Structure 1
């Protein structure tokens, strides 16, 4: 079962600077790219390779993965780390090279972002959102944007680089918004950017007063103590007509690996009502080939008529 996975890394051309200098997802296990490795994601944040185990694997499987990557010898790889998630906690392990003790600047296409390794579960950048960042770069010019659940504001950076007129970033965590400011500074963004430390579920009136917006992005966590996709997503969607300008674009994201596309779309459209027209799914070239399109991260585009 390891042959296809390991042969992928035997073939990768880390000498190709155009390819190797940009962060990218190499293995998308939740998209069922490699049978038996549905809980494995491997990402390249040059010069570091990170293996994410979304739940503990059988000891013999984990041992084989560690053995292979510990001996993977490429001069472009300065460190290989494994993160195992179990019971809501993340455990980091060094397989090769020193773990950086300071934030690392990584490039993703035309953008740069700060990531922090070896501490928390999430490191500051979700690579499965790369296609959406490219879309924002091309489709944000002159628009006012509301970025809900903004985390470290990577989507805001993309909209800013795409010449958005204004971007309002909303997240409960002030430290994430501070991180987002640093990402904007790193990318030399110009324009009007705002950072609102708000509980979205308790701030509907405030969001109405900030609007209306030409473009709204809703990218919530799948399951956290403060937010449940099943319970809370529809509550937010029912208020979107108050925030979005007529003819505006709504981008909905769901990153629950067991939520099928059809079920997500059905939930969204029941909450949104007849004002909204489904446009398309936001698939992109950065998701590795061979994945099951029904189960990776889901990005849906809507227009308000």
Structure 2
């Protein structure tokens, strides 16, 4: 546990939501169960092992370390921290054990990232409203939207499995003309709409609380798109199983993308490596060209990058330019 305590002792005062310690990456032997995140003004400590007497003793030590560091960073300010247990038995049941260990949590709880504001909820559920490991993916979307903001017809974005629509917020902030957000969770989409309002975005976004696989007609009619974002859960019973359903998404990409458009494919499944995506793309959408793998935030580094979050960029070829050597079309004969 010492690497976690060392990280706490050295951490700066965070302003944006971010990860402070990532034991899950395997770089700190003996700390694989722990992660520590900052959702200012709240710290969230997560364990991926069952709670027990040993864990309770460790929580006392960690709490003391947080209190000591917080007093140095923000003298006189209350320490707010939450502990969540996500052991495998609880996770398979879709449950977590969450405890407020000290202080309080704002309601509503709004955090910032790269100039954008997002509503989060750290006291319930496994997902807190903003996936911190996707920070560089959101930065890539922001940069892409800014680079295409002056395109002749503007950038149209399709955001599949939109969750709370963070990709949509950053795309529209950066100059995208329109974003179509699709997710079957009405609750997540409602928070997504609030996220747009938090950032003063009143136009350009649409929200479809539909099952993607039952809505291809509507989705396709709204295209083609200059950017398609695919960020599904790796496994969600009754909704999406990556090993069988990701291929169904890949087959649709050539019909969804405009010439020169890009697709951002995301996968957070440790058991599925980069080849899972690349080999299927080669088979199912061979016309799309691989561009790059977007690097994860440095704090999320892993001893095996194949197990870490995968964010891959593919491009649809541009339409070929007319060949200057081709004869010009004949003028119509005079009547």
The two structures have a TM-score, normalised by structure 2, of 0.83
Q: Name the structure with the higher strand share.
A: 1
**Corresponding residue of 2:95:** 89
> Where does the alignment leave 5 or more consecutive residues of structure 2 unmatched?
318-335
**Alignment RMSD, CA only?**
1.9
Quote the residue 2:322 is aligned against: none
1:43 corresponds to: 37
Query: Which residue does the alignment assign to 1:126?
Result: 131
Cα distance, 1:289–1:299 mapped onto 2, change above 3 Å: closer
Instruction: Give, in whole Å, the separation in 2 of the partners of 1:293 and 1:37.
Output: 18
SS at match of 1:89: coil
Secondary structure class of the residue paired with 1:37: coil
Q: Aligned to 1:278, which of 290, 294, 303?
A: 290
CA contact (8 A) 2:302 2:308 kept: no
C-alpha displacement of 1:117: 2.2
Q: Secondary structure at the match of 2:299?
A: coil
Bigger relative contact order (CA 8 A; separation at least 6): 1
Instruction: Give per-residue Cα distances to partners, 1:74-99, cap 9 Å, x unaligned.
Output: 14463111111213211101222234
Pair 1:259–1:189, CA change in 2 (3 A): same
Whole-Å separation in 1 of the counterparts to 2:53 and 2:267: 31
Sort the Cα spacing of 1:210 and 1:55 in 2 relative to 1 into closer, same or farther, 3 A. farther
Structure 1 gap ranges (5+): 15-19
Counterpart selection for 1:257 from 270, 286, 294: 270
Change (3 A) 1:290 1:210: closer
Task: Select 1:242's aligned residue among 247, 255, 265.
Answer: 255
Distance 1:28 1:265 in 2: 27
1:11 is displaced (CA, Å) by 1.2
Contact map agreement 1:164 1:191 (CA 8 A) in 2: no
In terms of Rg, which structure is larger?
2
Aligned partner (choices 131, 142, 152) of residue 137 of structure 1: 142
Contact 2:269 2:309 in 1 (8 A): yes
For residues 187 and 163 of structure 1, the distance between their equivalents in structure 2, rounded to whole angstroms, comes to 13
Q: Among residues 210, 230, 234, which one is paired with 1:198 in the alignment? A: 210
When the two structures are superposed, what TM-score results if normalisation uses the length of structure 1?
Answer: 0.91
The count of corresponding residues between Structure 1 and Structure 2 is: 296
Secondary structure in 2 aligned to 1:134? Answer: helix
3-state SS of 1:164 partner? coil
1:287, CA displacement in angstroms? 3.4
Structure 2 residue corresponding to 1:233, chosen from 235, 240, 246: 246
Equivalent pair of 2:133/2:297 in contact (CA under 8 Å):
no
Q: How does 1:64-213 map to 2 (within 5 A)?
A: 64-71=57-64, 72-73=66-67, 74-75=70-71, 76=74, 78-85=79-86, 86=90, 87=92, 88-100=94-106, 102-140=107-145, 141=149, 142-189=154-201, 191-213=203-225
Stretch moving more, 161-170 or 280-289: 280-289
1-structure distance, mates of 2:50, 2:36: 15
